[in-house]
Structure 1
Amino acid sequence: MVEFFKSAWALLLGMMLLMVGNGMQGTMLGIRGEAAGFSTFEMSMVMSAYFVGFLGGSQLAPDMIRRVGHVRVFAALASFISAVLILYPAFEHSIVWIIGRVMIGFCFSGVYVTAESWLNNAATNDTRGKALSVYMMVQMVGIVTAQGLVTLPDPSGFLLFIIPSVLVSISFAPILLSISPTPAFETTKPMSLRELLGNSPLGVTGMFLMGGVFSAQFGMSAIYATRVGLSVGELSLFIASFYIGATVCQYPLGWISDRMDRRILIMVGSFIGALGAVLGLFAGDNYSMLLLSAFAIGGFSNPLYSLLIAHTNDFLEYEDMAAASGGLVFVNGVGAIAGPLIIGGAMDRIGPQGFFIYLIVLLAVLSAYAGYRTTRRSAPPVEETGSYTAVMPTASPVAVEVAQEVAIETALEEEQEAESVAN
């Protein structure tokens, strides 16, 4: 791992700064959109637009990298991100913000694809799993730090947008000035959605629902917080609680998942997440209860992303796992696009509490469907299932494919150990 940190410290530092910028932009748009008088529907379009761009970027960025190389793609896209962040306060119009969010989503997706392929190249077979874990923690630190920075400047001024723009501009300096070689870029041809659905109905359905749940946390939580009248400080801590919960619960749930039928854990985890949303629905003016709700939702929903990937792997051959990752990420992205639009409609009709009602419905549906799937076929023996590898919904298809490689390598090592013991 020492060698990995020597070669990847610039990448990890740059990605943390990028995540701070990304974490700030969603929150600050929620705050400024309320001040500018945007309707809930307009803001839901703005938030959904990010995921439209992100999904498009994940499909197109690999070809861009093959044509012009990692360095040029990374520098160009990061520069666009920095520019759009400055333009937001200069043109407070929903159409301009929607276009800006599509651009930023596209650019962040391309940056993630580039950085994650660098990360994979910097790691060895022995350190790849740990490297992915460190990368995920860096992402979480960046997003949580972003919520603290939102409270510093006056939200009505330009500084709230200048800070993330500067951080993004600084972020790619250590990466582009490092001496790490740029890797050759390869991606696996994705498995068809029909074949993927046939192998794992719960995996595909769950990833679609989780896209909607994650987009609610990443985009619409700020809209909800402004609509119920939370102060900037309260809003920031509320949003941070989702990601703190995810960080705290990720590895314990992963450890448990390697020792039981994952469908049952998915059923229980999504049910607890739904209960957390119920708690938020009835929190009223009890701010502590609202924070507990966000912690429970984030803590038990975000790990489901990795759980669903691991569950899908349990019904695939090793050679098919990498191909499945692209399809799962695509389905998740479609769910993320739809999520803010549905929440916006719900909040327009029944008020801010539509945010929690939406989460209750999605998590309850996932819990019920996971329970149903346990009756349709037997679970594979625990000793024959693959290992859980943590990866966040913010990751690009490259990171998910790396996680698949880690799972395959771990499974092969465990098989070799079992054979040596038997002999």
Structure 2
Amino acid sequence: MLIVIRNSWPLLIGITLLMIGNGMQGTLLGVRAELEGFSTSATSIVMSAYFAGFLLGSQLVPGMIRRVGHVRVFAALGSLASAGLILYPALAHPLPWVGLRLLLGFCFCGVYIVSESWLNNTTTNEVRGRALSLYVIAQMVGIVAAQAIFTLGDPGDYILFVTVSVLVSLAFAPILLSATPVPPFETTKPMSFRELYHVSPLGFVGVFLLGAAFSAIFGMAGVFGAQAGLSGNQIALFVSAMYTGGMILQYPVGWASDRLDRRQMVVAGAIVGTLSCVLGASGAGGFTGLLVAAFLVGGMANPLYALLLAYTNDYLNYEDMASASARLLFLNGLGAVGGPVLTGWLMATFGPSGFFLFIGALMLALAVYAIWRMWRRAAVIPDDTGSYVAMSPMATTPVTIAGVVDEWEEEAQANEAQ
């Protein structure tokens, strides 16, 4: 672990600062939109635009990198992201905010791709799993820290937007000043959706559902807090609880999934997520109950995503993992685009509880489908499965997938040699 920190500390610092900026953006915009009088539907479209931009970036940024290089793409997208963040209070209208969110989703996707390319290039297969775990922890720490900073300012003012822009700008310094040359970004021709569904129906459906669920969490948690009448400090605690749960519960869930039928873990996690949403929607237990619900919802959404990726790859030869994972990543992005819009519609219809109703419905659907699939296919023996690797749906790019596939490939080759 110390070797990983020594080789990757500039990236870890940079990604933490980036996630402080990006994490505060979601909470801040949700609250500011309410103050500006945006309708719930308009706000949900604004939030959804980020995920559309992220999906677009995952398809276009690799080509940009091949044409002009990592450093130029990194610097250009970083500058655009910083500028976009500071323009929000000056253009307080849903239409320009949609454009800015689209731009920022594209930019952050590109920044993550370059950062992760560097991470992959500075770590060996022996320590890549630990490096990815630290990377995920840095992401979560950044988002939780963002909520603390959010409480120090007035969302109706412009200072918090300036703070976000400055933090994002500062994030590039340690990476650009310390980064070593990275290899050309290589893409793999993905398998067809039909082939992927044939390989793993549960992975196909589950990753799509979780994309919608996590985009609702990432995009609409601040909107929920504002509509529910929570104070600024309470909104920050609520959002922090979601990501703290995601950070803490990744590892026990991952440990268990390497020893049990992964579908049982998917069912258990989805049921816990569903019941947590019932708790959150009911309002039982007051604000404490809301924090418990947030912790468990976030704590299930993160590991379920990584769990489904690992489960799908249990049915693949390692040479097919990259192409299948690219399709799963795309499916996750498609689900993410619609998540905030549907959540916004439910919140406009049923009030703030629509936030939990949407996520709970997705979790329940996942649990039911996983149970049905358990009747349709025999389980893989745990000894024959690949290792679980912690990943976050909010910043997974083709480069993250490539690093994980490298680790799975080496593990598969080691198992064949035994």
Task: State whether TM-score is above 0.5.
Answer: yes
SS of equivalent residue, structure 2 residue 375: coil
Shift of 1:313: 0.7
Question: In the alignment, which residue of structure 1 is the partner of 2:326?
Answer: 326
- Equivalent residues, number: 417
Shift of 1:5: 3.3
Deviation string 1:80-122 (CA, Å, 9 cap, x unpaired) is 0100111000010000100000000000001111111110001
Shift of 1:387: 1.3
SS of equivalent residue, structure 1 residue 33: helix
1:216-235 correspondence runs (5 A): 216-235=216-235
Shift of 1:402: 1.2
1:5-404 correspondence runs (5 A): 5-178=5-178, 180-283=180-283, 286-394=286-394, 395-404=396-405
Work out whether residues 391 and 403 of structure 1, in 8 Å CA contact, stay in contact via their aligned partners in 2.
Answer: no
Question: In the alignment, which residue of structure 2 is the partner of 1:411?
Answer: 412
Distance 1:9 1:351, change over 3 A: same
Segments ≥4 residues shifted beyond 6 Å? none
Deviation string 1:60-94 (CA, Å, 9 cap, x unpaired) is 01000000000000000010010011100001000
RMSD (CA atoms): 1.2
1:404 corresponds to which letter in structure 2? V
Could you tell me how far apart the structure 2 residues matched to 1:32 and 1:301 are? 26
What TM-score do you get using the length of structure 1 for normalisation? 0.96
Could you tell me how far apart the structure 1 residues matched to 2:301 and 2:171 are? 29
What TM-score do you get using the length of structure 2 for normalisation? 0.97
Work out whether residues 263 and 374 of structure 1, in 8 Å CA contact, stay in contact via their aligned partners in 2.
Answer: yes
Work out whether residues 318 and 412 of structure 2, in 8 Å CA contact, stay in contact via their aligned partners in 1.
Answer: no
Could you tell me how far apart the structure 1 residues matched to 2:182 and 2:315 are? 35
Shift of 1:285: 7.1
Work out whether residues 281 and 356 of structure 2, in 8 Å CA contact, stay in contact via their aligned partners in 1.
Answer: yes
Could you tell me how far apart the structure 1 residues matched to 2:282 and 2:5 are? 46
Work out whether residues 125 and 406 of structure 2, in 8 Å CA contact, stay in contact via their aligned partners in 1.
Answer: no
Shift of 1:190: 1.7
1:403 corresponds to which letter in structure 2? V
Shift of 1:415: 4.4
Work out whether residues 187 and 398 of structure 1, in 8 Å CA contact, stay in contact via their aligned partners in 2.
Answer: no
Could you tell me how far apart the structure 2 residues matched to 1:260 and 1:47 are? 37
Could you tell me how far apart the structure 1 residues matched to 2:407 and 2:276 are? 32
Work out whether residues 4 and 130 of structure 2, in 8 Å CA contact, stay in contact via their aligned partners in 1.
Answer: no
1:160 corresponds to which letter in structure 2? L
Work out whether residues 388 and 407 of structure 1, in 8 Å CA contact, stay in contact via their aligned partners in 2.
Answer: no
Bigger mean CA offset, 296-305 vs 172-181: 172-181
